[in-house]
Amino acid sequence: MQLYNNLSAKERAALIDQAGKDRLTISFYAYAKIGNPEIFRNHMFLAWNALDVLGRIYVAHEGINAQLSLPADQFEPFKTHLDSITFLENVRLNIAIEQDNFAFLKLKVKVRDKIVADGLNDATFDVTNKGIHLDAARFNELIEDQNTVLVDMRNHYESEIGHFKNAVTPDVDTFRESLDIIEADLKDHKEDRNLVMYCTGGIRCEKASAYYKHKGFKNVFQLDGGIINYVRQINEEGLENKFIGKNFVFDQRRSERISEDVIAQCHQCGQPADLHTNCANDACHLLFIQCEGCKAKMENCCSTTCMEVSRLPYDEQKELRKGQGNSNDIFKKGRADHLSYKKDLRNIFEVLQQ
């Protein structure tokens, strides 16, 4: 059985180009009890590989979290396969607003301890006692309520390029960090405020809402299907869009434009910009925001040092990387010290004082 990729990303991209087929970018998740994630993982890989599915999928005892792409003409067989699995029957599929045939170039189905790294001990609270799900119309109404605190459950580099108007955007690098910060800042408002949360596709809010109810919050709500589903609903129903900027996504596209607003700055010159790029120096690979002017001037690099390295012949660059782990900058997501412009965030306390 072939349970691994036998083509490189470059080879796969060439085949996609040659095929000339439109592909759909899709994400979904489901919390469920999976007895043997390894066997389930193998089953999914075999079935999806046959359908030319590409993507990044995490499987754990607690369920599945998937971001993937597939040929549009394989959607029905793919959906039929999902429906054949009890806990995935009629699962909501978030189909991307902006499509890109090269969003994913390999099929990776990995077994993890959790489908989202939340750092929580699920045995200590009822993970099924979740908050109230809101559709786009009800969400728009509730976030205008003066007793509502709207919280972005994503990381700083996601909210930096786009978020809902008047949302609290915690200055965090991980989802786990935000959980304690939000609880601490809202400790005196567990009963008199509506806690409304949102994230990219809804998965982070599923666990967070149950956690906050366990912590004593009385009025907990979450945007059903996250930003992706919200945008689809407002387009289909003609509702007012309250999201400004771009929605960060975890594939080669990096983002989907939701409104024409550019709310972020180039991390090198400070001009309005919201396009993420990875430093061209593979030993760095820092993800940061770079405007077109700096992209041309810096040759897609985050610093002059990286630019000098990237100009070297490939073999010399490879030799320099020998014995070196990933640069620490790779995890800073635009926070590296040599980048001049950093995100200026408001905290929850400031919002509550308004």
Catalytic residue among 199, 205, 301, 306: 199
Helical ranges in 104-196 per DSSP H: 136-142, 156-159, 175-185
Q: Which residues contact 272 (CB under 8 A, 6 or more apart)?
A: 262, 264, 265, 266, 291
> Could you give the angle at the alpha carbon of 30 between the alpha carbons of 218 and 42, nearest 5°?
155
The pair of three-digit structure tokens given for residue 168, joined into one six-digit string: 């609290």
Query: Tell me, what amino acid is at 256?
Result: E
CA distance 212 to 129: 10
Integer angstrom CA distances of residue 197 from 167, 245, 298:
9, 18, 38
Distance of CA 316 to the CA centre of its chain: 34
Q: Which residues contact 101 (CB under 8 A, 6 or more apart)?
A: 16, 17, 21, 22, 23, 69
Q: Is 272 helix (H, G, I), strand (E, B) or coil?
A: strand
Contacts 24+ apart (CB under 8 A), 166-175: 166/351, 167/198, 168/346, 168/347, 168/348, 168/351, 169/345, 169/346, 170/345, 170/347, 170/348, 171/343, 171/345, 171/347, 173/331, 173/333, 173/335, 174/117, 175/116, 175/117, 175/118, 175/204, 175/208
Distance of CA 154 to the CA centre of its chain: 8
Catalytic residue list contains 266: no
The set of catalytic residues is 199
